[in-house]
């Protein structure tokens, strides 16, 4: 077998493997989106129906007979505020740890340890604490909780990006008249913008998709993922509205990922050893 033929076979196998990975990953998403346009009678059939007349009845239901916009506003406010605060504070803390070794290695490990505990262990202490502060069933309880988990992730992720930037670049900027803060803002941040975008995306997705804290701490001010449980009762599952609402839960993360795709790839590979 010639070298060229072996190369074609390898490329074919690689392409097939990538295709299978895409199908496995995107298959459930496509099933949810396509099924959201199926009439209820077709959804409940045991056999798979691929050819059908699309219907918008499920979207009409969630927009007119279900408080979709209220749940959407709750999700947008909580996820956006927690993401902005955690990325802003976490980036400053990560820069301080990368440049000045703030707190030393013990502090770094403590920051990481706050991410180690599973949410199920902390949800009851959080509920007791925020009940005494009368913050349960508000936006702020979820913002504070998501900030707690996201902050450690942002610090550890952004710290590695800042450590990749040579200090000589900042020193040159300060020689030219910049303060440390101006050098951080105008020199360092543009250099780590790809890593910052990747960190922000993962932080936003965690806040947007989170379920257990929203269920326990904010059951009366539901976010959109938690509100999907309204369609699952002890008597039946309303598949049509569930698929339609589930599509809207996935769309923001997909759109944000597509917009930030180039920066995401650069951010995930920044500092990699080739």
Q: How high is the mean pLDDT of the chain?
A: 85
pLDDT in tens, 101-122: 887 777 777 887 777 888 888 8
The model's confidence at residue 94, banded by pLDDT at 50, 70 and 90, is very high
The arithmetic mean of pLDDT across residues 15-40, rounded, is 87
Q: What are φ and ψ of residue 166, in 5° steps?
A: -65, 140
- Residue 119 neighbours by CB under 8 Å, 6+ apart: 149, 212, 213
Is residue 80 one of the residues assigned to a domain? yes
pLDDT in tens, 119-162: 888 899 999 999 999 999 999 999 999 998 899 889 988 998 89
Is residue 164 one of the residues assigned to a domain? yes
Is residue 43 one of the residues assigned to a domain? no
Tell me the CATH number at 101: 1.10.3720.10
The arithmetic mean of pLDDT across residues 94-99, rounded, is 90
The model's confidence at residue 221, banded by pLDDT at 50, 70 and 90, is confident
The SS3 of residue 237 is strand
Is residue 51 one of the residues assigned to a domain? no
Is residue 239 one of the residues assigned to a domain? yes
Give the residue numbers spanning the domain of 200: 67-269
For residue 219, what pLDDT is reported? 83
Is residue 135 one of the residues assigned to a domain? yes
Is residue 249 one of the residues assigned to a domain? yes
pLDDT greater than 70 at residue 267: no
Q: Hey, what are 174's tokens? A: 């300060």
The SS3 of residue 232 is strand
β-strand partners of 232: 237
The arithmetic mean of pLDDT across residues 71-78, rounded, is 93
Count up the domains in the chain and report the number. 1
Q: Which of 28-37, 111-120, 218-227, 244-253 has the lowest mean pLDDT?
A: 111-120
For residue 274, what pLDDT is reported? 37
Is residue 274 one of the residues assigned to a domain? no
The model's confidence at residue 89, banded by pLDDT at 50, 70 and 90, is very high
8 Å CB contact between 165 and 105: no
């Amino acid at each position: 077998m010639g070298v060229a033929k072996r190369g074609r076979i390898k490329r074919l196998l690689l392409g097939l493997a990538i295709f299978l990975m895409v199908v496995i990953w995107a298959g459930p998403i496509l099933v949810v989106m396509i099924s959201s346009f199926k009439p209820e009678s077709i959804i409940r059939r045991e056999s798979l129906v691929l050819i059908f007349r699309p219907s918008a009845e499920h979207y009409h239901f969630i927009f007119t007979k279900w408080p979709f916009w209220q749940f959407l506003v709750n999700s947008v406010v909580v996820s956006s505020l927690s993401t902005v605060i955690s990325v802003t504070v976490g980036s400053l803390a990560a820069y301080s740890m990368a440049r000045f070794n703030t707190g030393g290695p013990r502090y770094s490990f403590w920051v990481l340890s706050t991410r180690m505990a599973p949410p199920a262990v902390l949800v009851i202490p959080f509920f007791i604490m925020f009940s005494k502060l009368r913050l349960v069933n508000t936006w702020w309880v979820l913002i504070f909780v998501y900030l707690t988990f996201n902050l450690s992730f942002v610090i550890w992720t952004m710290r590695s990006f800042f450590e990749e930037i040579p200090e000589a670049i900042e020193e040159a900027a300060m020689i030219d008249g910049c303060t440390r803060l101006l050098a951080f803002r105008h020199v360092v941040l543009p250099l780590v913008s790809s890593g910052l975008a990747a960190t922000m995306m993962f932080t936003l997705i965690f806040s947007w998709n989170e379920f257990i804290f929203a269920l326990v701490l904010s059951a009366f001010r539901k976010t959109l993922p938690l509100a999907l449980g309204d369609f699952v009762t002890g008597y039946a599952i309303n598949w049509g509205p569930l698929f339609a609402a589930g599509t809207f839960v996935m769309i923001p993360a997909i759109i944000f990922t597509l917009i930030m795709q180039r920066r995401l790839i650069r951010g995930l590979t920044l500092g990699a050893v080739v």
